[in-house]
């Protein structure tokens, strides 16, 4: 089956390449999971990404999370990273923590479901159903080369090296979290169909670090909602004891209990595999809130999006709490994590205060907040110079305002928002 899986990845990427080169993006717009939440739930636009999510959801009800195991480019990058590490003789341990459950769900609900569902219910008048397959343009919101490469390195390789198998899929990916719900009900699952010698080859083979051997012997099937239907466990079972088989959900859940879906202390402890995993579950009380706060403080700053900010957060916090690393490194990460988070929070607080005062025409109080951002934020952001130019103009400090106007113009090229500033400063005599 693995040959077919590799073929599937290759076909998907060839189709993407053909679309970009040949069709010049004109046929299909962004083909992303967030389209369903942002465009469809938020605005009513049924585009390629929304249709893909709806299809993926219903097909997952039948086949499980095959999308993650057979089509997703980020999944294949991480499997490739794991393969490279094994070939180089590097054997990263796979880290287990309750963060695997909480963080992807937090990202999914906090950034996608809650804002868009509430928008859907509160602004029905702006929501109208339309079909537009080429909307939005693929390239308009993709990260630039620097952030794109950093995301690839951090979420594709570094996270696998430090947190183990498919660290990004397990700890961060909100789309995986979204597909967990239909996966639980899926009719096709990996099931035990022969005698098992408990050799644990299936657990070792599983690219997403499920204790397959434990689950199939306890439940007669893989019950874990992270299963991506990749069939690697089936391929690697020397006894042919596993099959990917259909069973009606009613029969499947006849004897099931909610507790079956929670973590069991009896998993990951078989002597043949226990050295491959490291549990940090005893420290989850600190790990989960620290990680969410660190990720939130970083998210949106330095052009960093959700996936990279929470990928970095998961790495920093889980390494900090992993006593297999030196205490010097962990102390450094702890101090760095806290200081960096506090600094980022101070920037976000200044931004929110400055904009609030600005919007209430309280320019005098807005100025120190915008100046703080300009003085301490490592990147040059034209919009804060633009804010300051308006504030100083309104406070009749025209020279200072003009300086920020010129600075804003040198950073933001051809932005329509600058027209207001152009009008403001062309009609005023500048004492330069």
Residue ranges binding ligand SF4 (CB under 6 A):
190, 196-202, 205-206, 208, 210, 212-213, 216, 222, 227-233, 237, 239, 241-242
Residue 94 or 228: which CB sits closer to ligand SF4? 228
Residue 237 or 398: which CB sits closer to ligand SF4? 237
CB of 230 to ligand SF4, least distance (A): 4
Residue 185 or 196: which CB sits closer to ligand SF4? 196
**Given the DSSP bridges, would you call strands 188-192 and 242-246 parallel, antiparallel or unpaired?**
antiparallel
Task: Return the closest-CA partner of residue 366 out of 344, 394, 324, 338.
Answer: 394
Residue 233 or 316: which CB sits closer to ligand SF4? 233
CB of 219 to ligand SF4, least distance (A): 12
Residue 94 or 229: which CB sits closer to ligand SF4? 229
Residue 249 or 368: which CB sits closer to ligand SF4? 249
CB of 190 to ligand SF4, least distance (A): 5
CB of 5 to ligand SF4, least distance (A): 10
CB of 180 to ligand SF4, least distance (A): 13
CB of 74 to ligand SF4, least distance (A): 15
CB of 102 to ligand SF4, least distance (A): 21
* Helix pair 99-107, 306-320: axis angle to 10 deg: 160
Token pair recorded at residue 241? 């004891």
CB of 270 to ligand SF4, least distance (A): 9
Residue 198 or 282: which CB sits closer to ligand SF4? 198
Q: How far apart, in Å, are the Cα atoms of 328 and each of 3, 194, 279, 282?
A: 44, 50, 21, 21
Residue 108 or 222: which CB sits closer to ligand SF4? 222
């Amino acid at each position: 089956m693995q040959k077919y899986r590799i073929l599937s990845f290759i076909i998907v990427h060839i189709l993407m390449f053909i679309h970009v080169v040949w069709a010049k993006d004109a046929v299909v717009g962004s083909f992303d999971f967030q389209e369903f939440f942002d465009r469809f739930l938020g605005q009513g636009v049924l585009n390629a990404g929304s249709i893909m999510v709806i299809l993926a959801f219903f097909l997952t009800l039948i086949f499980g999370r095959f999308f993650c195991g057979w089509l997703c480019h980020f999944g294949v990058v991480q499997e490739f990273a794991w393969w490279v590490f094994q070939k180089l003789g590097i054997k990263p341990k796979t880290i287990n923590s309750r963060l695997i459950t909480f963080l992807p769900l937090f990202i999914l609900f906090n950034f996608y479901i809650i804002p868009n569902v509430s928008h859907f219910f509160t602004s029905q008048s702006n929501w109208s159903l339309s079909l537009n397959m080429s909307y939005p343009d693929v390239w308009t919101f993709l990260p630039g080369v620097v952030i794109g490469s950093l995301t690839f390195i951090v979420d594709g390789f570094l996270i696998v090296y430090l947190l183990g198998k498919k660290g990004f899929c397990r700890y961060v990916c909100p789309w995986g979290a979204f597909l967990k719900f239909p996966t639980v009900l899926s009719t096709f699952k990996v099931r035990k169909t022969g005698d098992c010698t408990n050799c644990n080859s299936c657990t070792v083979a599983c690219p997403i670090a499920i204790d397959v051997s434990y689950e199939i012997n306890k439940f007669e099937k893989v019950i874990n909602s992270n299963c991506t239907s990749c069939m690697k466990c089936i391929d690697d079972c020397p006894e042919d004891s596993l099959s990917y088989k259909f069973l009606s959900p009613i029969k499947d859940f006849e004897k099931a209990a909610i507790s079956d879906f929670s973590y069991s202390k009896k998993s990951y402890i078989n002597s043949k595999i226990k050295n491959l995993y490291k549990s940090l579950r005893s420290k989850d009380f600190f790990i989960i809130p620290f990680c969410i706060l660190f990720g939130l403080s970083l998210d949106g700053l330095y052009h960093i999006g959700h996936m990279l900010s929470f990928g970095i957060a998961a790495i920093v916090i889980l390494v900090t709490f992993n006593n297999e690393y030196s205490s010097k490194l962990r102390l450094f990460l702890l101090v760095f994590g806290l200081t960096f988070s506090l600094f980022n929070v101070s920037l976000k607080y200044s931004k929110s205060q400055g904009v609030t005062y600005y919007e209430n025409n309280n320019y005098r109080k807005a100025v120190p907040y915008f100046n703080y951002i300009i003085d301490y934020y490592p990147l040059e952001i034209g919009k804060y110079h633009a804010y300051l130019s308006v504030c100083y103009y309104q406070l009749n400090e025209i020279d200072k305002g003009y300086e920020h106007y010129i600075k804003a113009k040198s950073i933001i090229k051809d932005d329509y928002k600058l027209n207001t500033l152009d009008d403001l400063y062309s009609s005023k005599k500048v004492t330069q």
